[in-house]
Structure 1
Amino acid sequence: MHGTMMKKLLCAGAIALAALAPLAQAEEKKTFNLAWTIYVGWMPWKYADESGIMKKWADKYGIEVNISQINDYVESINQYSASQFDGVVATSMDALSIPAAGGVDTTALIVGSYSNGNDGLVMKGTDDLKQIKGQQVHLVELSVSHYILAKALDSVGLSEKDVKVVNTSDADIVAAFSTADVRNVATWSPLLQEVAAAPDAHQVFDSASVPGHVKDLLIVNSETLADNPAFGKAVTGAWYEVMAIMASDTPEGAELRAQLGAASGTDQAGYEAQLKGTHMFFQPAEAVAFISGEPAHEAMDSVRKFSFDHGLLGDGADSADFVGIDMPAGALGDQGNLKLRFDTRYMQMAADGAL
């Protein structure tokens, strides 16, 4: 699921809309719209909506928050960039390379989780990663799977120049790996579990080796948030109420996990297996501590450099510094073009019981 979401499919029209639309109309308002797509770390938004928890928190602050499921992840971010949504789920890499690089001042309101084994590299016939030199690797190009490959190669002193990346649809990865010609694939859960279970398959690297690099966020328009703090408070409050239920060893928690498993095409056991490859920040204080630390800062620096090296920051970017990023542990890039902000204030309010 993760890799599917990462496909870089921006068109010129979407970039133009992204650059222009948010300049227009940030103002105090009463109705807000969020979009989410299916992934283990984002499924809780479905429960927040259908359980009435989001409505309860919105009512508390005198606003309305509509939550919509979108089937196409990249399209949902493009729609957010064009001001059709006030917030959307996204990884840190896509938050940077789509809205922020496109000119939309964007805030990471909630740091919900990071991939901790859900993205990985599988080789056939050997568990020696160094043997991949000179071989083809099948993956969704310019995706988190591509990023994981780059980190895997770096871990054994290799680079992308040492392999040939073959762009392969997520829908075709499992079938491709079953053929004799395909020796190596990088993908995400649950596809990762399928290929790793194949005969003579060896999972040689996964995102647990680079904790915090693939961050799963709720991002919102910075101007909208600044003009409407009630929006930030209601959304954050609802999320952490759901997190408390989801983390609990109670019948209610089990029922939640079963519901989200069914909604994502599996069952409770399957969903809980995916959760094992996901570091969920069930407690807001843990999320604040993580995103405020130096490891998260270093991970974002790595992500922005990968994004620039692969052309994801746009034609106008002359270096990885093109887009400014504000993080608690220090700024990255051009602060005159600050477009991605990690704002811990609302998560801290949740931690302090101040929502």
Structure 2
Amino acid sequence: MIVSIRKAAGVAVMAGALLLASCSKPSDEAPEPRHEFNIGWSIYAGWMPWPYAQQAGIVKKWADKYGIKINIVQVNDYVESVNQYTAGKLDGVTVANMDALTIPAAGGKDTSAIIVGDYSNGNDGVLLKGADDLKAIKGRKVNLAELSVSHYLLARALNSVGMTLSDVKTVNTSDADIVGAFASPDVTAAVAWNPQLSVMKAQKGAHEVFSSANIPGEILDLLVVDTKTLKANPDLGKALAGIWYETVALMQQQDAAGKAARAAMAKLAGATPEAFDGQLSTTYLYSDPKAAVAATSSPDLITTMTRVRDFSYSKGLFPGAASADAVGMAFPGGKTLGDAQNVTMRFDDSFMKLAADGKL
């Protein structure tokens, strides 16, 4: 079984906000070009192409092409990986869209999402006992990791049936404890992500009444890179795009080579090939760079990020901000959301475009 450590934004903010509160805004001075870079990752189905690419020599191949060295660094705790990136110890990191916004971007670190790798297409779900209708959740206690993507999913689920978070009472429960909690007769509603979700769905009387498949494209998994580092070293972005698209093309193959790649990724994740394939079945991978570019340039992304930032702000995840507009975001085509004078999160599709055009 895959050990999921795509943890809660809320936990991350607790760890990260204290760090960021004492940090001044980065200097406007451009960094010097560099030769070696560190990219952090943690275990999650949609991010396993990165360590596999390193193991298979794909990272070295593309790094050599551009005369640089790229270290793909595992961080055993997802929260810690994002905090290390925010503190400047990593040049890039794998991260969910909500966490990229609420931790580095909200803390003033100018961050560019250069690869939109996948979205959760059923990896996150709302479960009820004794009812198969979402409306039956009204008035119940709901166990979940508060201030996380699970909390966001619950808000979206409730909204879909004319309810709000005030119609339920959330009970903060870590991903490590959520399976055991749901097994208790006293717990009749929960929100979780895989692999815990699949275990909980198998419990007697459990019904999945809403999932991330109902809001496709909203829970995104990204590769982000420090914007100033990227500007000084554009070859880093080119190499990373080359690594990603070569690797996901291989893992999508239904031949012996593709099967072997997926099996190797499963092993790196501490999973069986069958369990890993199950994770992938509810993970929509943007294996085609053209599809990733289209998703990144679509107005739907701005709608999604508006929802994400409004939810995040409402839950206090923008420390010290006077409004949800305090953190500026930039999108392809010169579009912005929030404070255009304080853009700290950028969706940069330029490297994905180079891959789509065969120009890497």
| Separation of aligned partners in 1, 2:150 and 2:5 | 8
For the residue of structure 2 that corresponds to 1:335, the secondary structure is: coil
User: Could you say if the C-alpha distance between residues 25 and 5 of structure 1 is closer, same or farther in structure 2, counting changes exceeding 3 Å?
Assistant: farther
For the residue of structure 2 that corresponds to 1:170, the secondary structure is: coil
Residue of 68, 82, 85 corresponding to 1:80? 85
Say whether 1:194 aligns with 2:199.
yes
Residue number in structure 1 paired with 2:186: 181
For the residue of structure 2 that corresponds to 1:112, the secondary structure is: strand
User: Could you say if the C-alpha distance between residues 11 and 241 of structure 1 is closer, same or farther in structure 2, counting changes exceeding 3 Å?
Assistant: closer
Say whether 1:240 aligns with 2:245.
yes
- The share of aligned pairs that are identical, in percent, is 49
| Separation of aligned partners in 2, 1:12 and 1:267 | 37
For the residue of structure 2 that corresponds to 1:41, the secondary structure is: helix
| Separation of aligned partners in 2, 1:5 and 1:18 | 22
Q: In the TM superposition, what whole-angstrom CA distance separates every residue of 1:104-133 from its partner, at most 9, and x where no partner exists?
A: 000001100000100010000001211111
- How big is the shift at 1:38? 0.3
Aligned Cα root-mean-square deviation (Å): 1.5
For the residue of structure 2 that corresponds to 1:120, the secondary structure is: strand
| Alpha carbons 1:119, 1:187 under 8 Å: kept | yes
Residue of 261, 265, 277 corresponding to 1:272? 277
For the residue of structure 2 that corresponds to 1:29, the secondary structure is: coil
Amino acid aligned to 1:4: K
User: Could you say if the C-alpha distance between residues 22 and 53 of structure 1 is closer, same or farther in structure 2, counting changes exceeding 3 Å?
Assistant: farther
| Alpha carbons 1:37, 1:70 under 8 Å: kept | yes
Residue number in structure 2 paired with 1:318: 322
| Alpha carbons 2:46, 2:117 under 8 Å: kept | yes
- How big is the shift at 1:260? 1.2
Q: In the TM superposition, what whole-angstrom CA distance separates every residue of 1:54-104 from its partner, at most 9, and x where no partner exists?
A: 111111111111110001111111111111110001111000000000000
| Separation of aligned partners in 2, 1:180 and 1:145 | 21
| Separation of aligned partners in 2, 1:2 and 1:306 | 22
Say whether 1:328 aligns with 2:329.
no
Residue of 23, 30, 35 corresponding to 2:40? 35
| Alpha carbons 1:2, 1:188 under 8 Å: kept | no
Q: TM-score, normalised by structure 2?
A: 0.95
Q: Give unmatched runs, 5+ long, in structure 2.
A: none
User: Could you say if the C-alpha distance between residues 228 and 166 of structure 1 is closer, same or farther in structure 2, counting changes exceeding 3 Å?
Assistant: same
Residue number in structure 2 paired with 1:147: 152
| Alpha carbons 1:16, 1:102 under 8 Å: kept | yes
Residue number in structure 1 paired with 2:143: 138
Amino acid aligned to 1:317: A
Residue number in structure 2 paired with 1:157: 162
Alignment of structure 1 residues 81-160 onto 2, 5 Å: 81-160=86-165
Q: TM-score, normalised by structure 1?
A: 0.96
For the residue of structure 2 that corresponds to 1:157, the secondary structure is: coil
- How big is the shift at 1:328? 2.2
